Amino acid sequence: MLELAFAMAPPPEGGEPGGGSLLALLPPMIMMFLIFYFILIRPQQKKQNEARKMLDELKEGDQVVTLSGFHGTIKKIKDDTVMLQIADNVRVKVNRSSIGNKK
């Protein structure tokens, strides 16, 4: 309802006739994108690269923690699966991508 009242009001006299150029909006948009990139996107890419590097460097005998919280020792590595020993005579096959970090 209030919008209708403003729409019916006469334009202000002596002032600038509203609106600006699109070029005036470009620098703030670029700044927002750069801030967004350096605060959110770049750190996430760095974290993904570190995780990929850690998974590529896994070897037998490494102690690891899976994303589900299992602690174990790597006994065998295949292309995208890993055999973990989580207790005496207890081995579990997990996806390589489910390994969270090395101890």
Q: Where are the domains of the chain?
A: 28-102
Write out the CATH class of domain 28-102.
mainly beta
- The more confidently predicted of residues 7 and 21 is 21
- Average pLDDT, whole number, for the chain? 88
Task: Tell me what percent of the residues of the chain surpass a pLDDT of 70.
Answer: 81
Tokens matching residue 72: 């174990």
Which are the contacts of 59, defined by CB distance < 8 A and separation ≥ 6?
Answer: 74, 77
Task: pLDDT band for 23, please (50, 70, 90 cuts).
Answer: confident
Is residue 69 over pLDDT 90?
Answer: yes
Mean pLDDT of 53-68: 95
Give this prediction's pTM. 0.64
Q: Tens digits of per-residue pLDDT, 1-20?
A: 666 666 666 666 655 555 56
Q: Are 64 and 72 in contact (CB under 8 A)?
A: yes
φ, ψ at 74 (rounded to 5°): -75, 125
**Residue 41 carries which side chain, given as an amino acid letter?**
I
The whole-number pLDDT of residue 66 equals 96
Which are the contacts of 81, defined by CB distance < 8 A and separation ≥ 6?
Answer: 93, 94, 95, 96
CB-count burial class (<10 Å; 0-12, 13-18, 19+) for 84: buried
